[in-house]
């Protein structure tokens, strides 16, 4: 960017749906910061080169999204305590030719969980779809907040089992892996108080709910990390008058935290929220 401006961005694949540029560019404008935030579609095979380009081009910081949150770690110089514990990074700060990795997803998720559906994880049973980078942040956040039991299900059984073992080992929280289409899934969900979708299922029009809507019950709250559309899961939950929230406010809160890491200034939350809502309406 010319005239001494700074460049920030987001690396992902896909990334065209991202609302982060609208949110961060509105924040820069409000705070009179000469900077621009740009989406970069980075295919997995080019991730290493893309991370190298941060230093080469003088980019000041980036967000990392699907599918790079775990793979990015090997290219960074240092990790925050949370990022190291979780094993996933969603925010990179470039400072003095060194790259620092953070995870603000866990902060954003827990804040939205508390504020938007009033859910306290302590002593609760939670069912999570997915075992990737986003699921890791969610699992660690819930475990550290005192969840009683976490059940994980992923299309790749080994991935869910590996994450379940890691959660138990590092936090002491009981964590169980269950095959995605196990006949016992219905009973598990019926005995859970929170259902979290931490998969990309729902990002595309026509995607299914991920779980049978018949399993959704009044004692359940639903949190879908997908934010670029009202997913079938959210629609099914709201039809049954079940507390349900999408990932939009999680995006806001994790973005505000990233903004503060990059700039050292307090994020203009109201402006960022308005920009997100406007961008969400107009796509």
Going across the sheet that includes 35-41, the strands are: 35-41, 6-12, 61-64, 91-95, 98-102, 78-79
Quick one: 184 exposed, middle or buried, by C-beta within 10 A (0-12, 13-18, 19+)?
exposed
Distance in angstroms (rounded) separating the CA atoms of residues 106 and 145: 11
Specify whether the CB–CB gap between 222 and 234 falls below 8 A: yes
Cis peptide before 102 (omega within 30 of 0): no
Distance in angstroms (rounded) separating the CA atoms of residues 80 and 87: 10
Residue 226, SS3 per DSSP = coil
Active site residues: 69
């Amino acid at each position: 960017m010319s005239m001494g401006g700074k460049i920030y961005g987001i690396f992902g694949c896909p990334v065209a749906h991202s609302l982060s540029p609208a949110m961060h560019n509105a924040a820069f404008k409000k705070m009179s910061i000469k900077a621009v935030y740009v989406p970069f579609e980075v295919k997995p095979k080019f991730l290493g080169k893309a991370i190298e380009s941060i230093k080469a081009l003088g980019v000041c910081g980036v967000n990392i999204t699907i599918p790079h949150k775990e793979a990015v770690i090997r290219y960074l110089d240092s990790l925050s305590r949370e990022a190291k514990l979780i094993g996933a990074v969603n925010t990179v700060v470039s400072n003095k030719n060194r790259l620092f990795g953070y995870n603000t997803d866990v902060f954003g998720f827990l804040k939205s969980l508390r504020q938007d559906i009033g859910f306290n994880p302590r002593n609760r049973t939670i069912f999570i779809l997915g075992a990737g980078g986003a699921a890791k942040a969610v699992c660690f956040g819930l475990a550290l907040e005192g969840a009683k039991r976490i059940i994980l299900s992923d299309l790749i059984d080994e991935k869910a089992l590996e994450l379940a073992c890691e959660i138990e080992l590092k936090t002491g929280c009981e964590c169980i892996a269950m095959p995605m289409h196990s006949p016992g899934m219905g009973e598990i969900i019926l005995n859970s108080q929170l259902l979290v979708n931490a998969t990309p299922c729902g990002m595309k029009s026509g995607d299914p709910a991920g779980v049978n809507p018949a399993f959704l019950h009044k004692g359940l709250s639903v949190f879908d990390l997908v934010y670029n559309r009202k997913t079938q899961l959210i629609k099914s939950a709201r039809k049954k008058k079940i507390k349900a929230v999408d990932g939009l406010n999680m995006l806001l809160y994790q973005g505000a935290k990233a903004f503060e890491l990059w700039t050292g200034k307090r994020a203009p939350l109201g402006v960022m929220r308005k920009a997100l809502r406007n961008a969400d309406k107009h796509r």
